[in-house]
Amino acid sequence: MRPQFIWNEEPGGNVEHIEEHGITVDDVEHVLAGSPKEEVSRSSGLPCVFGTTLDGRYIIIVYERIGRGYRLSRHRLRSPGTVIFAEDRFMAEKKFKRIERPATAEERKRHAAIRAKVMQEFPPAPGAGREQSPPGLPTQIRQAREAQGLTWYALAKLAGIPNANTVRDIEYGCDAQISSVQAVAKALGLRLELEIGRASCRERV
């Protein structure tokens, strides 16, 4: 059976939490699937792994096991460009089955306490966090998404895009396929207007 990972999409859940730091669901699962062997967070007593995201950032993931499932409790961004190699790879090459459900009140309280402890143990690297969107189309997409209360993950699902990193890249002004930009704009109820040298979005009427 594939390892299961529980994601909480509601406001304050672990999806929103990681995205506040510029990390996506796909980043976390990538690190967990191919990271070096598991270690233990001293402050929380929970398992943790260290690894590099799809775009080369080095992060620490603290999580808890619930039977056969896993739920993210906390991650921290560390210095970029650092990679750990090990032969004992703890969940190498495994794909996760995603379970999406709201956290219970008890879980939310427990996660808040864990995050506070881990933040002291693994303070974020300087400059870590969500980047500002450049002017133009990236800012328009971001403002529309935030106005609708959507995460990158939720918007990717609405747009039929398999990877939330694509939505992040669009908002960061990175290269993206025009079909992906069009799908994101449509999911937000926007009309994409292309002109030579630039693109913009307008509300659909």
- Are the C-beta atoms of 203 and 189 separated by less than 8 Å? yes
- For the stretch 85-106, pLDDT in tens is 222 333 444 577 888 999 999 9
Closest CA to 59 of 118, 11, 102, 106: 118
In the predicted structure, residue 200 carries a pLDDT above the cut 60: no
Closest CA to 144 of 184, 107, 182, 102: 184
Q: Where is pLDDT greater, at 74 or 18?
A: 18
For residue 139, what is the enclosing H or E element?
Answer: helix 137-147
Average pLDDT over residues 73-79: 53
Task: Classify 137-203 by CATH class.
Answer: mainly alpha
- For the stretch 20-35, pLDDT in tens is 989 999 999 999 888 7
User: Domain ranges in the chain?
Assistant: 4-121, 137-203
203 DSSP β-pair partners: 190
In the predicted structure, residue 15 carries a pLDDT above the cut 90: yes
- 65 Cβ contact list (under 8 Å, min separation 6): 47
- Are the C-beta atoms of 102 and 8 separated by less than 8 Å? yes
